[in-house]
Amino acid sequence: MAEYADSKTAGVFDVDCTTSGKSLCEKAGVRGYPSIKYGDPNNLEDYKGGRTMEALQEFAKENLKPMCSPANLDLCDAEKKAQLEGFMAMDDAALNAEIKAKKDEQETLEETFKTDVKALQDKYQQLQKDKDDGIANVKKSGLGLMQAVMAHKSKVNTEL
């Protein structure tokens, strides 16, 4: 945090999501702890890189700089600039409706993911149980005794 304290383009902040920072964390979509976010304060992205000081410093050097945004249109490529200009031309109600639709779409994707992962976990547990039960039945059917008999026969045959 101290390394970026005087930076005009980057900052590192520690927020306690369980106390006074709870509303900020909810707005930023923090779901687990610790979380690292970066980017425009109004559009924070999840950091997925390494957690060592060296990895964080390298990421910061490459990514924590002014980026394409409504305040920095000159940093945008033609496609992003046109997209931003289109959004800026929308009235507040239309823009809010579009934001809500996209957030709803994200939420649907998250729910689908959670539901499908739960189904996979349930299937995995059932497959594990079926395997364990099957192996127990094979052993109960005499596998161990058969192997003991075979070993005994081999030993007897080599002694003759």
Say if residue 130's pLDDT is above 80.
Answer: yes
At residue 9 the predicted structure's pLDDT band, cuts being 50, 70 and 90, is low
> Domain segments of the chain: what residues?
1-66
Q: What's the rounded Cα separation, in Å, for the pair 66 and 32?
A: 27
Q: How crowded is the C-beta side of 27, counted as CA atoms within 13 Å?
A: 8
Q: What is the mean pLDDT of residues 45-54?
A: 88
Q: What is the mean pLDDT of the chain?
A: 89
Say if residue 109's pLDDT is above 90.
Answer: yes
Q: What's the rounded Cα separation, in Å, for the pair 49 and 156?
A: 63
Q: What is the mean pLDDT of residues 106-118?
A: 96
- Could you count the other beta carbons within 10 Å of the beta carbon of residue 30? 19
Considering the entire predicted model, what is its pTM? 0.58
At residue 103 the predicted structure's pLDDT band, cuts being 50, 70 and 90, is very high
Say if residue 87's pLDDT is above 90.
Answer: yes
At residue 95 the predicted structure's pLDDT band, cuts being 50, 70 and 90, is very high
pLDDT digits (tens, 9 = 90+) for 26-45: 888 887 778 888 877 777 88
pLDDT of residue 159: 78
Per the CB < 8 A criterion, the answer to whether 17 and 71 are in contact is no
